[in-house]
Amino acid sequence: MIAIVDYGMGNLLSVYNALEMLGAKPKVCSHAAELQDAERIILPGVGAFRDCMKHLAEGGFVEALQEAVLQRARPIFGICLGMQAMARTSSEGGRHQGLGWFAADVVRLTPSDPSLRVPQIGWNETEHRRGSPMFAGLPSKVDFYFVHSYSMKCDDPATVEATCDYGGAVTAAVRKDNIFATQFHPEKSQDHGLKMLENFLRWNP
C-alpha cells in the first residue's frame, strides 16, 4: 500500500491522481496507525512549517513516521513542505523544530536578483546528481514546478540530490538512505513529474 499522509495540509488529490495514473493503489491515511501497513509513504505539504509540525504531532504522525521510516526503513517521498519538515529546524515565523532526518535548516529564499519575487512560483530548471535513481530516465537538466518561499540549507552536500538557480543555488531535492524529497511538486510537473513518481514506486534503497 502506498500511503499518502493526510495531516490537513497537503495537495492530496493531485498526488493521488498521479499515482493512480501510474497504476499504483494509493491510500490517503488520516490516522497514524494506518502507516503500519504502508510499503511506501508520501508526505505532501502546502502551508507554514509551524502548522505542519503541529498537525503532524497532534495526529500522532511524528511517532508513526519515525517508526515506519527510521526503524522499518520504508521508502518515503516528501513533497514541498513535506521535504522541509524533514529538516532539523525552520526559521519561518520563528524557530521551529522539524523531524531532524537531515542535517539541514529551512531558511527564507533570498535571491541575489531583486527582480526575482518571493515566493518562487512556476517552472524552473533543475540539475540533478548523475546516477540518481530518482531522476532515472530524465534529462540532466529538467523543468519542474515550484511554489515556495523557504528552502533547505544542508550541512552535507552529499545529501543534495538536485538544485535549481533562483538568484543563487536552491536545494531542489535531497536523498539519504530510504528518504527522498523534493522542493518542487512532481504531481504538478506533467510527464517529468510522473516519471519521478514512477521511479519512486520502483526504488529499492
How far apart CA 101 and CA 167 sit, in angstroms, is 27
Q: Does residue 80 have an active-site annotation?
A: yes
80, 128, 148, 164: the active-site residue: 80
Amino acid sitting at position 85:
A
Helix H segments across the chain?
12-21, 49-58, 61-65, 81-84, 190-202
Number of H helices, E strands in the chain: 5, 13
Q: Helices 190-202 and 12-21: crossing angle, nearest 10°?
A: 70
96, 128, 148, 185: the active-site residue: 185
How far apart CA 139 and CA 14 sit, in angstroms, is 24
Q: Does residue 92 have an active-site annotation?
A: no
In the block, residue with C-alpha cell 490516522: 31
What separation in angstroms does the CA of 154 have from each of 19, 69, 113, 126, 158? 29, 20, 22, 17, 9
Q: 74's torsion region: left (phi>0), alpha (psi -120 to 50) or beta?
A: beta
92, 161, 187, 198: the active-site residue: 187
Q: Does residue 187 have an active-site annotation?
A: yes
Tell me which residues are annotated as active site.
Answer: 80, 185, 187
